[in-house]
């Protein structure tokens, strides 16, 4: 068995976790759509987007941190499994970032710019997030341009560390220093009574936990699938044990 691609065995607990995550997120979706919400000023019924938009930021950051961690582990150990894990984490993180940006644009359109045809006005947080997603997207462009696996893994790991380092500055520090309608900007605190009513918080916290669980499950599924593909591609004695490890 190729120890460079060794994974822990996934048993009954892992399978149960996937079921729990799926049920949890389903319940959150139902509550987010059907449960009553407080009629907050300006937000009104659009406040439901809080349950979907904000948790995606948590997934974005968690995925980036996981990707950077495994990138560092690859540079330290040279084990291919860390490169696989880093790429999978970045895919989940970037997908969450795109969803967060799109839901944010829709939310802004029907709260800040209601009655207009404006979909994008260069809000600092939206702009900085778009820049960060371009940086994240370049990670996959870089991987696609290098054929040699070891070289690709090393350069990708270095770039992943760079991309993660830019994230807090572009998506948190800089937007908080600039005037914006977005909660959390200068003079506009996040999670105030204007943004989320106390009775909505328990659904929000459940949504955040549920989407993080689902993201972790998707991440592990991608890792398992990629490891299985690599071992089957290599064939020979590695192929059969590989499938046993990730089953």
How far, in Å, CA of 9 to CA of 12, rounded?
A: 10
Number of domains composing the chain: 1
Q: What is the pLDDT of residue 84?
A: 96
Q: What is the pLDDT of residue 43?
A: 67
Give the residues of the chain that fall short of pLDDT 70.
Answer: 1-2, 40-43, 114-115, 180-197, 236-247
Give the side-chain half-sphere CA count within 13 A for 41: 3
Q: What is the pLDDT of residue 190?
A: 52
Q: What is the pLDDT of residue 237?
A: 43
Q: What is the pLDDT of residue 89?
A: 97
Q: What is the pLDDT of residues 136-165, one digit of tens each?
A: 999 999 999 999 999 999 999 999 999 999
Give the dihedral sign, CA 118/121/125/131: positive
Backbone region of residue 7 per phi and psi (left: phi > 0; alpha: psi in -120 to 50; beta: other values): beta
How far, in Å, CA of 1 to CA of 228, rounded?
A: 12
Which domain range does residue 114 map to? 3-246
How far, in Å, CA of 91 to CA of 104, rounded?
A: 20
Nearest by Cα to 220 from 71, 72, 18, 79: 18
Q: What is the pLDDT of residue 241?
A: 45
How far, in Å, CA of 90 to CA of 97, rounded?
A: 10
SS3 184: coil
pTM of the shown model: 0.84
Q: Residue 188: beta bridge partners?
A: 185
């Amino acid at each position: 068995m190729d120890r460079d691609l060794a994974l822990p065995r996934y048993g009954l607990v892992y399978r149960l976790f996937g079921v729990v995550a799926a049920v949890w997120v389903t319940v959150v979706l139902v509550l987010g759509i059907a449960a009553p919400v407080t009629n907050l000023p300006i937000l009104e019924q659009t406040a439901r987007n809080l349950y979907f938009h904000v948790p995606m930021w948590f997934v974005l950051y968690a995925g980036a941190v996981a990707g950077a961690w495994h990138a560092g582990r690859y540079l330290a150990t040279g084990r291919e499994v860390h490169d696989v894990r880093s790429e999978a984490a970045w895919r989940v993180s970037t997908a969450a970032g795109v969803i967060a940006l799109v839901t944010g644009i829709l939310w802004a359109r029907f709260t800040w710019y209601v009655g207009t045809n404006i979909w994008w006005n260069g809000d600092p947080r939206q702009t900085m997030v778009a820049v960060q997603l371009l940086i994240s997207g370049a990670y996959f462009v870089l991987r696609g341009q290098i054929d040699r696996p070891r070289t690709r893994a090393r350069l990708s790991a270095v770039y992943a560390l760079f991309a993660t380092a830019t994230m807090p500055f572009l998506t948190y520090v800089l937007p908080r220093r600039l005037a914006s309608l977005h909660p959390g900007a200068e003079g506009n605190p996040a999670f105030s009574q204007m943004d989320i009513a106390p009775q909505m918080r328990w659904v929000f916290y459940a949504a955040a936990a549920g989407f993080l669980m689902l993201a972790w499950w998707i991440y592990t599924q991608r890792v398992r699938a990629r490891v299985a593909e690599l071992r089957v591609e290599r064939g020979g004695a590695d192929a059969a044990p590989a499938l046993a490890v990730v089953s």
